Amino acid sequence: MEEPRKRARPGRVPAPAGRTSRPRQAEVARLAGVSQATVSLVLGARKQGATISEETRRKVLDAVRALGYVPDPAASRLAAARNNLLGVFSFTSTFPTDVQHSYYPFLVGVEQEAAARGYDLVLFTGSSTGGAGAAGPNALARVRLADGCLFLGRHAPAEELRRLVADGFPVVHLGRRDELEGLAWVGADYISASQEVVAHLAALGHRRIVLVREDDDAPASTDREHGFLKGLEEAGLPGGPAAVFRSADPERELTAERLRGWLDEGVTAFVAEETDTGDAWRALHGAAHFVGIDCPRDASLALLGSPPPDLAEEPVPTGFDIPRPRLGAAAVRMLAALVSGEEAAEPLVACTFRPGSTAGPAPARY
Protein backbone atom coordinates (compact mmCIF):
# COMPACT_ATOMS: atom_id res chain seq x y z
CA MET A 1 0.00 0.00 0.00
CA GLU A 2 2.43 2.59 -1.19
CA GLU A 3 0.81 5.98 -0.68
CA PRO A 4 2.23 8.56 -3.00
CA ARG A 5 4.82 10.46 -1.08
CA LYS A 6 3.13 13.20 0.87
CA ARG A 7 4.44 16.65 0.05
CA ALA A 8 3.81 19.75 1.97
CA ARG A 9 1.40 22.30 0.59
CA PRO A 10 3.29 24.95 -1.32
CA GLY A 11 1.50 27.65 -3.16
CA ARG A 12 0.31 30.95 -2.00
CA VAL A 13 0.73 32.23 1.45
CA PRO A 14 -2.56 33.26 3.05
CA ALA A 15 -3.65 36.84 2.48
CA PRO A 16 -2.01 39.46 4.69
CA ALA A 17 -3.93 39.43 7.94
CA GLY A 18 -4.57 43.13 8.25
CA ARG A 19 -6.34 43.58 4.98
CA THR A 20 -9.99 42.80 5.07
CA SER A 21 -10.16 40.95 1.86
CA ARG A 22 -13.11 41.66 -0.28
CA PRO A 23 -15.52 38.77 -0.75
CA ARG A 24 -15.09 36.11 -3.40
CA GLN A 25 -17.75 34.17 -5.16
CA ALA A 26 -17.03 31.42 -2.66
CA GLU A 27 -18.15 33.60 0.24
CA VAL A 28 -21.27 34.60 -1.58
CA ALA A 29 -21.96 30.94 -2.26
CA ARG A 30 -21.52 30.01 1.36
CA LEU A 31 -23.90 32.72 2.52
CA ALA A 32 -26.47 31.78 -0.07
CA GLY A 33 -26.10 28.11 0.65
CA VAL A 34 -25.14 27.19 -2.89
CA SER A 35 -21.97 26.35 -4.77
CA GLN A 36 -19.51 28.78 -6.20
CA ALA A 37 -20.42 27.60 -9.66
CA THR A 38 -24.02 28.56 -9.06
CA VAL A 39 -22.98 32.04 -8.09
CA SER A 40 -21.00 32.34 -11.27
CA LEU A 41 -23.97 31.12 -13.26
CA VAL A 42 -26.31 33.57 -11.65
CA LEU A 43 -24.00 36.50 -12.17
CA GLY A 44 -22.79 35.63 -15.62
CA ALA A 45 -25.14 36.34 -18.46
CA ARG A 46 -24.99 32.70 -19.38
CA LYS A 47 -25.81 32.13 -23.01
CA GLN A 48 -27.30 28.67 -22.70
CA GLY A 49 -27.35 25.51 -20.70
CA ALA A 50 -27.76 25.84 -16.99
CA THR A 51 -31.06 27.03 -15.67
CA ILE A 52 -31.36 28.56 -12.26
CA SER A 53 -34.54 28.70 -10.23
CA GLU A 54 -35.95 32.05 -9.33
CA GLU A 55 -35.61 31.14 -5.68
CA THR A 56 -31.90 30.39 -5.93
CA ARG A 57 -31.23 33.39 -8.05
CA ARG A 58 -32.78 35.59 -5.46
CA LYS A 59 -30.81 34.05 -2.64
CA VAL A 60 -27.59 34.53 -4.54
CA LEU A 61 -28.32 38.10 -5.48
CA ASP A 62 -29.25 38.87 -1.90
CA ALA A 63 -25.96 37.47 -0.73
CA VAL A 64 -24.13 39.44 -3.38
CA ARG A 65 -25.70 42.62 -2.14
CA ALA A 66 -25.18 41.76 1.48
CA LEU A 67 -21.48 41.19 1.02
CA GLY A 68 -21.02 43.83 -1.61
CA TYR A 69 -19.39 41.37 -3.90
CA VAL A 70 -17.67 42.69 -6.98
CA PRO A 71 -15.98 40.42 -9.48
CA ASP A 72 -12.25 40.52 -10.03
CA PRO A 73 -11.65 41.61 -13.60
CA ALA A 74 -8.29 39.93 -13.78
CA ALA A 75 -9.75 36.61 -12.81
CA SER A 76 -12.61 37.02 -15.23
CA ARG A 77 -10.19 37.72 -17.98
CA LEU A 78 -7.98 34.83 -17.08
CA ALA A 79 -10.81 32.40 -17.01
CA ALA A 80 -10.98 32.95 -20.72
CA ALA A 81 -13.97 35.15 -20.48
CA ARG A 82 -14.06 38.67 -21.68
CA ASN A 83 -13.92 41.55 -19.34
CA ASN A 84 -15.56 44.19 -21.47
CA LEU A 85 -12.47 46.30 -21.48
CA LEU A 86 -11.23 47.97 -24.61
CA GLY A 87 -7.68 49.21 -24.60
CA VAL A 88 -6.41 52.39 -26.15
CA PHE A 89 -2.72 52.75 -26.75
CA SER A 90 -0.92 55.75 -28.09
CA PHE A 91 2.75 55.72 -28.70
CA THR A 92 3.44 59.30 -28.26
CA SER A 93 2.56 60.57 -24.87
CA THR A 94 -1.16 60.25 -24.44
CA PHE A 95 -1.20 63.54 -22.67
CA PRO A 96 1.40 65.80 -24.22
CA THR A 97 1.99 69.14 -22.65
CA ASP A 98 0.60 70.73 -25.74
CA VAL A 99 -3.01 69.76 -26.09
CA GLN A 100 -3.03 70.65 -29.74
CA HIS A 101 -0.92 67.73 -30.71
CA SER A 102 -2.84 65.24 -28.75
CA TYR A 103 -5.34 62.66 -29.72
CA TYR A 104 -7.80 64.33 -27.53
CA PRO A 105 -10.46 64.88 -30.18
CA PHE A 106 -10.34 61.23 -31.11
CA LEU A 107 -10.61 60.13 -27.54
CA VAL A 108 -13.79 62.08 -27.12
CA GLY A 109 -15.45 59.90 -29.72
CA VAL A 110 -13.76 56.78 -28.49
CA GLU A 111 -15.02 57.24 -25.01
CA GLN A 112 -18.56 57.97 -26.07
CA GLU A 113 -18.86 55.08 -28.43
CA ALA A 114 -17.29 52.65 -26.00
CA ALA A 115 -19.66 53.71 -23.27
CA ALA A 116 -22.61 53.45 -25.61
CA ARG A 117 -21.65 49.90 -26.46
CA GLY A 118 -21.23 48.90 -22.87
CA TYR A 119 -17.48 48.71 -22.95
CA ASP A 120 -15.16 50.18 -20.45
CA LEU A 121 -12.08 51.90 -21.63
CA VAL A 122 -8.55 51.27 -20.56
CA LEU A 123 -5.85 53.62 -21.71
CA PHE A 124 -2.30 52.54 -21.88
CA THR A 125 0.34 55.15 -21.86
CA GLY A 126 2.96 54.74 -24.44
CA SER A 127 5.48 56.07 -21.99
CA SER A 128 7.15 58.24 -24.51
CA THR A 129 8.57 59.69 -21.38
CA GLY A 130 10.66 56.60 -21.14
CA GLY A 131 9.14 54.80 -18.22
CA ALA A 132 7.81 51.33 -17.67
CA GLY A 133 8.18 48.75 -20.36
CA ALA A 134 8.18 51.41 -22.96
CA ALA A 135 11.29 50.52 -24.79
CA GLY A 136 11.40 46.77 -24.62
CA PRO A 137 9.59 44.46 -26.94
CA ASN A 138 7.11 44.01 -24.14
CA ALA A 139 5.76 47.48 -24.51
CA LEU A 140 2.55 46.10 -25.86
CA ALA A 141 2.22 43.14 -23.55
CA ARG A 142 -0.05 44.89 -21.16
CA VAL A 143 -2.69 45.66 -23.70
CA ARG A 144 -3.72 42.05 -23.42
CA LEU A 145 -5.44 42.89 -20.22
CA ALA A 146 -8.24 44.16 -22.38
CA ASP A 147 -10.36 42.32 -24.87
CA GLY A 148 -8.91 44.29 -27.72
CA CYS A 149 -6.91 47.41 -28.34
CA LEU A 150 -7.05 50.56 -30.35
CA PHE A 151 -3.79 52.12 -31.49
CA LEU A 152 -3.23 55.78 -32.09
CA GLY A 153 -0.33 57.45 -33.76
CA ARG A 154 1.93 56.74 -36.66
CA HIS A 155 4.66 55.34 -34.55
CA ALA A 156 3.09 52.08 -33.60
CA PRO A 157 5.92 49.59 -34.08
CA ALA A 158 5.06 47.25 -36.87
CA GLU A 159 6.71 44.22 -35.31
CA GLU A 160 4.76 44.43 -32.13
CA LEU A 161 1.51 45.03 -33.89
CA ARG A 162 2.11 42.15 -36.22
CA ARG A 163 2.64 40.02 -33.20
CA LEU A 164 -0.63 40.95 -31.63
CA VAL A 165 -2.46 40.43 -34.86
CA ALA A 166 -0.82 37.06 -35.35
CA ASP A 167 -1.89 36.01 -31.91
CA GLY A 168 -5.42 36.77 -32.86
CA PHE A 169 -5.63 39.67 -30.49
CA PRO A 170 -8.19 42.16 -31.74
CA VAL A 171 -6.38 45.27 -32.87
CA VAL A 172 -7.53 48.37 -34.67
CA HIS A 173 -5.27 51.15 -35.85
CA LEU A 174 -6.58 54.65 -36.05
CA GLY A 175 -5.28 55.97 -39.30
CA ARG A 176 -4.70 54.06 -42.48
CA ARG A 177 -2.17 51.33 -42.19
CA ASP A 178 -2.10 49.19 -45.27
CA GLU A 179 1.42 47.89 -45.16
CA LEU A 180 0.68 45.66 -42.23
CA GLU A 181 -1.12 42.60 -43.47
CA GLY A 182 -4.21 41.78 -41.51
CA LEU A 183 -4.17 44.89 -39.40
CA ALA A 184 -7.57 46.46 -39.14
CA TRP A 185 -7.71 50.21 -39.36
CA VAL A 186 -10.09 53.10 -39.52
CA GLY A 187 -9.27 56.29 -41.33
CA ALA A 188 -10.67 59.43 -42.81
CA ASP A 189 -11.54 59.37 -46.48
CA TYR A 190 -9.06 62.00 -47.58
CA ILE A 191 -9.32 61.00 -51.18
CA SER A 192 -13.00 61.75 -51.59
CA ALA A 193 -12.76 64.82 -49.43
CA SER A 194 -9.84 66.27 -51.38
CA GLN A 195 -11.54 65.45 -54.62
CA GLU A 196 -14.62 67.27 -53.46
CA VAL A 197 -12.63 70.37 -52.65
CA VAL A 198 -11.13 70.39 -56.12
CA ALA A 199 -14.55 69.86 -57.64
CA HIS A 200 -15.76 72.85 -55.70
CA LEU A 201 -12.95 75.00 -57.02
CA ALA A 202 -13.50 73.76 -60.56
CA ALA A 203 -17.17 74.61 -60.27
CA LEU A 204 -16.14 78.12 -59.32
CA GLY A 205 -14.38 78.37 -62.63
CA HIS A 206 -10.79 77.72 -61.62
CA ARG A 207 -8.89 76.08 -64.43
CA ARG A 208 -5.44 75.85 -62.95
CA ILE A 209 -5.01 74.66 -59.39
CA VAL A 210 -1.82 73.89 -57.48
CA LEU A 211 -1.41 71.66 -54.45
CA VAL A 212 1.15 72.57 -51.83
CA ARG A 213 2.23 69.59 -49.78
CA GLU A 214 5.05 68.62 -47.50
CA ASP A 215 7.62 66.01 -48.28
CA ASP A 216 6.07 63.13 -46.47
CA ASP A 217 4.96 59.71 -47.54
CA ALA A 218 2.35 59.18 -44.90
CA PRO A 219 -0.89 57.81 -46.29
CA ALA A 220 -2.62 60.95 -45.12
CA SER A 221 -0.45 62.98 -47.50
CA THR A 222 -0.50 60.69 -50.47
CA ASP A 223 -4.24 60.22 -50.16
CA ARG A 224 -4.78 63.92 -50.37
CA GLU A 225 -2.61 64.21 -53.42
CA HIS A 226 -4.36 61.28 -54.94
CA GLY A 227 -7.77 62.83 -54.34
CA PHE A 228 -6.52 66.18 -55.58
CA LEU A 229 -5.30 64.74 -58.87
CA LYS A 230 -8.44 62.69 -59.22
CA GLY A 231 -10.47 65.81 -58.78
CA LEU A 232 -8.48 67.61 -61.44
CA GLU A 233 -8.91 64.75 -63.84
CA GLU A 234 -12.61 64.52 -63.18
CA ALA A 235 -12.94 68.21 -63.97
CA GLY A 236 -10.83 67.87 -67.07
CA LEU A 237 -8.12 70.11 -65.67
CA PRO A 238 -4.38 69.74 -66.12
CA GLY A 239 -2.80 67.47 -63.56
CA GLY A 240 0.65 66.02 -63.58
CA PRO A 241 3.70 66.96 -61.51
CA ALA A 242 3.35 70.62 -62.33
CA ALA A 243 0.13 70.76 -60.35
CA VAL A 244 1.84 69.60 -57.18
CA PHE A 245 4.41 71.55 -55.24
CA ARG A 246 6.19 69.29 -52.84
CA SER A 247 8.55 70.76 -50.30
CA ALA A 248 10.22 69.62 -47.14
CA ASP A 249 10.16 73.17 -45.84
CA PRO A 250 7.33 75.06 -47.46
CA GLU A 251 7.74 78.12 -45.30
CA ARG A 252 11.14 78.69 -46.78
CA GLU A 253 10.65 77.38 -50.27
CA LEU A 254 7.22 78.72 -51.02
CA THR A 255 8.54 82.17 -51.85
CA ALA A 256 6.69 85.18 -53.06
CA GLU A 257 8.41 84.85 -56.41
CA ARG A 258 7.21 81.34 -56.83
CA LEU A 259 3.70 82.37 -56.01
CA ARG A 260 3.82 85.24 -58.47
CA GLY A 261 5.15 82.83 -61.03
CA TRP A 262 2.17 80.61 -60.61
CA LEU A 263 -0.21 83.47 -60.81
CA ASP A 264 1.42 84.62 -64.01
CA GLU A 265 1.00 81.14 -65.40
CA GLY A 266 -2.71 81.41 -64.84
CA VAL A 267 -3.04 79.53 -61.61
CA THR A 268 -6.06 80.91 -59.75
CA ALA A 269 -6.47 78.50 -56.89
CA PHE A 270 -4.12 76.96 -54.36
CA VAL A 271 -4.69 74.01 -52.15
CA ALA A 272 -2.60 73.07 -49.12
CA GLU A 273 -2.61 69.85 -47.23
CA GLU A 274 -3.09 69.75 -43.50
CA THR A 275 -0.19 68.41 -41.52
CA ASP A 276 0.79 68.15 -37.90
CA THR A 277 2.51 71.45 -38.03
CA GLY A 278 0.20 73.15 -40.47
CA ASP A 279 3.29 74.39 -42.30
CA ALA A 280 1.91 73.97 -45.78
CA TRP A 281 -1.10 76.12 -45.05
CA ARG A 282 0.90 78.59 -43.07
CA ALA A 283 3.37 78.97 -45.90
CA LEU A 284 0.66 79.33 -48.51
CA HIS A 285 -1.32 81.72 -46.41
CA GLY A 286 1.72 83.75 -45.58
CA ALA A 287 2.98 84.00 -49.13
CA ALA A 288 -0.43 85.01 -50.42
CA HIS A 289 -0.65 87.68 -47.79
CA PHE A 290 2.84 88.89 -48.58
CA VAL A 291 2.17 89.12 -52.26
CA GLY A 292 -0.91 91.10 -51.44
CA ILE A 293 -3.46 88.75 -52.85
CA ASP A 294 -7.00 89.70 -52.01
CA CYS A 295 -8.48 86.35 -51.25
CA PRO A 296 -10.80 85.14 -52.65
CA ARG A 297 -11.06 87.92 -55.22
CA ASP A 298 -7.63 87.59 -56.81
CA ALA A 299 -7.16 83.91 -56.09
CA SER A 300 -8.75 81.17 -54.07
CA LEU A 301 -7.18 79.15 -51.31
CA ALA A 302 -8.30 75.87 -49.85
CA LEU A 303 -7.06 73.65 -47.10
CA LEU A 304 -7.36 69.90 -47.13
CA GLY A 305 -8.15 69.63 -43.47
CA SER A 306 -8.48 71.98 -40.53
CA PRO A 307 -6.34 75.05 -39.96
CA PRO A 308 -3.71 75.02 -37.21
CA PRO A 309 -5.04 76.56 -34.03
CA ASP A 310 -2.99 79.72 -34.35
CA LEU A 311 -4.60 80.45 -37.69
CA ALA A 312 -8.08 79.55 -36.55
CA GLU A 313 -9.05 83.19 -36.11
CA GLU A 314 -8.37 84.13 -39.69
CA PRO A 315 -11.07 83.80 -42.25
CA VAL A 316 -12.23 80.21 -42.22
CA PRO A 317 -10.44 78.38 -44.99
CA THR A 318 -12.44 76.53 -47.56
CA GLY A 319 -11.72 72.85 -47.26
CA PHE A 320 -12.93 69.96 -45.18
CA ASP A 321 -13.04 68.93 -41.57
CA ILE A 322 -11.81 65.65 -40.28
CA PRO A 323 -14.50 64.36 -37.98
CA ARG A 324 -12.11 63.21 -35.32
CA PRO A 325 -14.64 62.21 -32.72
CA ARG A 326 -16.53 60.24 -35.33
CA LEU A 327 -13.32 58.59 -36.38
CA GLY A 328 -12.73 57.53 -32.83
CA ALA A 329 -16.23 56.18 -32.63
CA ALA A 330 -15.81 54.27 -35.85
CA ALA A 331 -12.61 52.74 -34.56
CA VAL A 332 -14.41 51.55 -31.47
CA ARG A 333 -17.16 50.07 -33.59
CA MET A 334 -14.64 48.12 -35.57
CA LEU A 335 -12.79 46.98 -32.52
CA ALA A 336 -16.02 45.84 -30.93
CA ALA A 337 -16.80 43.91 -34.07
CA LEU A 338 -13.44 42.17 -33.98
CA VAL A 339 -13.77 41.35 -30.32
CA SER A 340 -17.13 39.77 -30.78
CA GLY A 341 -15.98 37.98 -33.89
CA GLU A 342 -18.24 39.79 -36.29
CA GLU A 343 -17.24 40.94 -39.69
CA ALA A 344 -15.23 44.13 -39.74
CA ALA A 345 -17.13 47.34 -40.17
CA GLU A 346 -16.55 50.21 -42.55
CA PRO A 347 -12.99 51.53 -42.28
CA LEU A 348 -13.48 54.85 -44.01
CA VAL A 349 -15.13 57.82 -42.42
CA ALA A 350 -16.28 60.66 -44.61
CA CYS A 351 -14.96 64.16 -44.03
CA THR A 352 -17.32 67.08 -44.12
CA PHE A 353 -16.90 69.83 -46.66
CA ARG A 354 -16.32 73.23 -45.12
CA PRO A 355 -17.40 76.10 -47.40
CA GLY A 356 -15.24 78.64 -45.66
CA SER A 357 -14.53 82.01 -47.15
CA THR A 358 -11.22 81.66 -48.94
CA ALA A 359 -12.59 80.32 -52.19
CA GLY A 360 -14.62 82.28 -54.66
CA PRO A 361 -15.24 82.54 -58.38
CA ALA A 362 -12.13 82.44 -60.51
CA PRO A 363 -11.03 85.95 -61.45
CA ALA A 364 -11.60 86.81 -65.07
CA ARG A 365 -8.23 86.75 -66.81
CA TYR A 366 -7.63 88.72 -69.90
Partner DNA sequence: GCGTATTACTAATGCGCATTAGTGAGTCAC
Partner DNA sequence: GTGACTCACTAATGCGCATTAGTAATACGC
Contact residues for DNA (CB under 7 A)?
5, 7-13, 15, 21, 24-26, 33-38, 40-41, 43-44, 46, 49-53, 55-57, 69, 71-72, 75-76, 78-81
By beta-carbon proximity to its own copies, the closer residue of 38 and 195 is 38
By beta-carbon proximity to its own copies, the closer residue of 78 and 203 is 78
Write the CB contacts of 168 (distance below 8 Å, at least 6 apart in sequence). none
- Residue 303: what are its φ and ψ, rounded to 5°? -125, 125
By beta-carbon proximity to DNA, the closer residue of 277 and 340 is 340
Q: Please identify, among the stretches 123-131, 275-283, 313-321, 355-363, the one whose residues bind its own copies according to the rule CB under 8 A.
A: 123-131
Write the CB contacts of 192 (distance below 8 Å, at least 6 apart in sequence). 227, 350, 351
User: 356 - beta bridge partners?
Assistant: none
By beta-carbon proximity to DNA, the closer residue of 43 and 108 is 43
What's the CA gap between 307 and 124, in Å, rounded? Answer: 29
Does residue 31 belong to the site contacting its own copies (CB under 8 A)?
no
What's the CA gap between 250 and 242, in Å, rounded? Answer: 16
CB 203 within 8 A of CB 360: no
Q: Please identify, among the stretches 19-27, 176-184, 269-277, 345-353, the one whose residues bind its own copies according to the rule CB under 8 A.
A: 19-27
Ranges of H-type helices in 292-323 = none
Closest approach of its own copies to the CB of residue 235, in Å: 37
Using alpha carbons only, give the angle 138, 140, 144 rounded to the nearest 5 degrees. Answer: 115
Binding its own copies by CB under 8 A: which of 91, 124, 262, 270? Answer: 124
By beta-carbon proximity to DNA, the closer residue of 164 and 351 is 164
CB 12 within 8 A of CB 48: no
Which residues ranging from 155 to 174 are in contact with its own copies (CB under 8 A)?
A: 163, 166-168
CB 275 within 8 A of CB 221: yes
Q: Closest Cα partner for 89 from 161, 21, 38, 34? A: 161
Write the CB contacts of 241 (distance below 8 Å, at least 6 apart in sequence). none
In the list its own copies, DNA, none, the entry touching 46 (Cβ below 5 to 8 angstroms by class) is DNA
Does residue 122 belong to the site contacting its own copies (CB under 8 A)?
yes
CA atoms within 13 A on the CB side of 97: 1
Closest approach of DNA to the CB of residue 51, in Å: 4
CB 86 within 8 A of CB 149: yes
In the list its own copies, DNA, none, the entry touching 18 (Cβ below 5 to 8 angstroms by class) is its own copies
Q: Please identify, among the stretches 89-97, 206-214, 231-239, 268-276, the one whose residues bind its own copies according to the rule CB under 8 A.
A: 89-97
Does residue 66 belong to the site contacting its own copies (CB under 8 A)?
no
Q: What is the CA radius of gyration of the chain?
A: 28
Q: Please identify, among the stretches 75-83, 181-189, 192-200, 249-257, the one whose residues bind its own copies according to the rule CB under 8 A.
A: 75-83
- Residue 265: what are its φ and ψ, rounded to 5°? -80, 0
Closest approach of DNA to the CB of residue 88, in Å: 23
CB 300 within 8 A of CB 270: yes
By beta-carbon proximity to DNA, the closer residue of 9 and 365 is 9
Positions touching its own copies (CB under 8 A) are 12, 16, 18-22, 68, 70-75, 77-80, 83-85, 93-97, 99, 104, 107-108, 110-112, 114-125, 127, 129-134, 137-138, 140-142, 144-145, 163, 166-168, 325
